């Protein structure tokens, strides 16, 4: 199901974090290279590490260890690597900055009366501090992190949970994201999705995804939606 009668009738908007609201790639990648260095392994390019982002830290660590999007590293190696990664990322996470026009876009959505939430696969212990340090926490009535529910994106559960929280029909909940997992979650839930092109879609252009529109940044969203 796709939505192409613009402006879309929307009551609430949920927005992805990494690659949509915040440019977290530099800190995620630096933590991965510090982990590799601590383990006596060769560093990996920032661009390659950026392509590994989007399915949570466990997959980022697995991909950094194997150099492959889908391979499983030796379990003992992974168990050794993960706490090293988490230590470095905890030190770096709150340095992440919003992308251009994020705050302007959020201000416009809020001023127009839309209710706002954030849905991310990042676990809560990182999500809450980085939203606060970036000055974005106050915009959101609900934050659904990667460990808030039994399932995370691309499963539809976070979107269905958010629609229930806001008390809105799922087709009037808009997801703004940057990746395949966002698109799959929205289509599985039955809600519209609009993507930004600057995020972390494993190196693939978002125009190839099953989305309703692509906007240059969050400040370009308002003409495509109307409040119902």
39 and 61, same domain (yes or no) = yes
Query: pTM for the complete prediction?
Result: 0.95
- Report CA-CA distances (Å) from 81 to 31, 39, 78, 125: 11, 8, 5, 19
Does 1 have pLDDT greater than 80?
no
Catalytic residue among 16, 178, 182, 212: 16
Q: Is residue 3 part of a domain?
A: no
Q: For residues 127 and 72, what is the distance between their CA atoms, to the nearest angstrom?
A: 26
- In this predicted structure, what is the pLDDT of residue 212? 97
Helix (H, G, I), strand (E, B) or coil at 56: coil
Q: Is residue 145 part of a domain?
A: yes
Average pLDDT for 172-177: 98
- pLDDT 10s digits, 121-131: 999 999 999 99
- In this predicted structure, what is the pLDDT of residue 211? 97
The band of 203, judged by pLDDT with boundaries at 50, 70 and 90, is confident
Structural domain including 31 reads: 25-95
Does 70 have pLDDT greater than 80?
yes
Cis preceding-peptide flag for 38 (omega within 30 of 0): no
Say whether 79 is catalytic. no
Average pLDDT for 136-144: 98
44 and 107, same domain (yes or no) = no
Whichever domain contains 171, its CATH number is 3.40.50.1000
Average pLDDT for 66-92: 97
- In this predicted structure, what is the pLDDT of residue 104? 98
Q: Is 186 exposed, middle or buried (0-12, 13-18, 19+ CB in 10 A)?
A: buried
89 and 109, same domain (yes or no) = no
117 and 102, same domain (yes or no) = yes
> Which of 46, 78, 95 is at the close of a domain?
95
Q: For residues 60 and 210, what is the distance between their CA atoms, to the nearest angstrom?
A: 24
- Report CA-CA distances (Å) from 111 to 9, 103, 139, 162: 17, 12, 11, 20
Q: Provide the number of structural domains found in the chain.
A: 2
């Amino acid at each position: 199901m796709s939505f192409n009668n613009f402006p879309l009738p929307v009551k609430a908007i949920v927005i992805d974090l990494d690659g949509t609201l915040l440019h977290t790639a530099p800190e995620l990648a630096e933590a991965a290279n510090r982990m590799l260095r601590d383990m006596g392994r060769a560093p990996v390019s920032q661009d390659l590490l950026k392509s590994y982002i989007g399915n949570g830290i466990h997959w980022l660590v697995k991909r950094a260890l194997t150099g492959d999007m889908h391979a499983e590293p030796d379990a003992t190696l992974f168990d050794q690597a993960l706490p090293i990664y988490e230590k470095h990322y905890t030190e770096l996470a709150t340095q992440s900055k919003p992308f251009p026009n994020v705050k302007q876009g959020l201000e416009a959505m809020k001023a127009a009366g839309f209710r706002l939430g954030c849905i991310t696969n990042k676990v809560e212990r990182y999500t809450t501090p980085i939203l606060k340090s970036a000055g974005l926490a106050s915009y959101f009535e609900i934050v659904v992190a990667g460990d808030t529910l039994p399932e995370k994106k691309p499963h539809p559960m976070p979107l269905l949970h958010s629609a229930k929280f806001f008390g809105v029909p799922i087709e009037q909940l808009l997801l703004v994201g940057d990746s395949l997992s966002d698109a799959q979650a929205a289509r599985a839930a039955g809600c519209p999705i609009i993507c930004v092109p600057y995020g972390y879609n494993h190196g693939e252009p978002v125009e190839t995804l099953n989305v309703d529109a692509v906007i240059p940044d969050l400040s370009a969203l308002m003409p495509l939606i109307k409040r119902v």
